[in-house]
Amino acid sequence: MSIRRADTLGGKAAIVGIGATEFSKDSGRSELKLAVEAVRAALDDAGLTPADVDGLVTFTMDTSPEITVAQAAGIGELSFFSRIHYGGGAACATVQQAALAVASGIADVVVCYRAFNERSGRRFGAGVQRREPTAEGAALGWNLPYGLLTPASWVAMAAQRYLHAYGRGPEVFGQVAVLDRRHAARNPAAYFHGKPITLADHAASRWIVEPLRLLDCCQETDGGQALVVTSVERARDLPRPPAVVVAAAQGAGRSQEQMTSFYRDGLTGLPETAVVARQLWRSSGLTPADIDVGILYDHFTPFVLMQLEEFGFCGPGEAGDFVAADALPLNTHGGQLGEAYLHGMNGIAEAVRQIRGTSVNQVAGAARSLVTAGTGVPTSGLVLGADD
């Protein structure tokens, strides 16, 4: 793969199984147990068994190693195992890694998983408390003394600049929150099922770090999600319609840091997302007009707007109006604001449901789904499609 030319991965692998635990604030069981439950559910959905699996992919942040999950889930020998860096930015890259392994013949069936007790255990929203000495920690050290201690505070810097540059108010962020919660309200699996909000609710929610309010920030969730990837040929013999990996990409921008890239040329965009967008469009041959549904990583509402602009769905500063107009079906599961915060893996599962035609908020005739991973960090993305 190269950022300068199209790659040849598309059309060679597909997601054939999705499985998850319930999404809660206190799972009452270990992260390993959550991972195994999700893996087994995904295999059941795919019509496969643990004996079929020869590859596993997860996040570097995950506490359940591949060999431990394999042992606990009854999986035998592994010919491929991999982990992706940068928190939520890894989500779509897990599928990319699995697809690469399948396409090259290194593995036949690869399961991607993510499981954590992010509410009852380690809470990422609590911010930086202790860090081992690393280059990444040194980069954070330039900002921590000034009170930028949490992800919300890091995003607030870019969000404030965005509003200033385009002469908008925080209500443009509220459009994202209202949209997500509207979809979550109709999703029985969502934590906020039956609980839509209005722009007035958004404006009345308490400040976290200006200009971000509580309802601009994603949840903290306990749970697990798994995805099964195999070849398109094998997928056609399985019980569920495959979601074909049309294109997959990773991206890091110039002067990239982990959510504190404040010394780049500007703060109103997401250069790492632009790298992913260029690769996805180039390799798939598609354009924004070809996308039927977008599942955009929504840990914080401002970065959803910036993603829409980087992918070319609308011009700079126009994404708030784009969302308000329902110009593209977005986050039909409720997103991480409304369904659950599973580092974006639940979003990939929703993109699969849209291709299958089984979403609770189904988009009629959906044949192409765009999925993005965590922003503000080195990131990844997918275009999933129906099997032609």
Q: What whole-number distance in Å separates Cα of residue 247 and Cα of residue 285?
A: 9
Q: What whole-number distance in Å separates Cα of residue 370 and Cα of residue 347?
A: 10
> SS3 for the chain, per residue?
CECCECCCCCCCEEEEEEEECCCECCCCCCHHHHHHHHHHHHHHHHCCCHHHCCEEEEECCCCCCHHHHHHHHCCCCCCEEEEECCHHHHHHHHHHHHHHHHHHCCCCEEEEEEEEECCCCCCHHHCCCCCCCCHHHHHHCCCHHHCCCCHHHHHHHHHHHHHHHHCCCCHHHHHHHHHHHHHHCCCCCCCCCCCCCCHHHHHHCCEEECCEEHHHECCCCEEEEEEEEEEHHHHCCCCCCCEEEEEEEEECCCCCCCCCCCCCCCCCCCHHHHHHHHHHHHHHCCCHHHCCEEECCCCEHHHHHHHHHHCCCCCCCCHHHHHHCCCCCECCCCHHHHCCCCCCHHHHHHHHHHHHCCCCCCCCCCCEEEEECCCCCCEEEEEEEECC
Catalytic residue among 113, 162, 191, 297: 297
- Please provide residue 288's backbone torsions phi and psi, each rounded to the nearest 5 degrees: -55, -30
- Taking CA atoms, 340 is separated from 23, 36, 117, 189, in Å, by 6, 18, 12, 9
113 as an active site residue: the answer is: no
Q: What whole-number distance in Å separates Cα of residue 63 and Cα of residue 50?
A: 21
Which residues fall within 8 angstroms of residue 79, CB to CB, at 6 or more apart?
54, 55, 106, 107
Active site residues: 297, 341
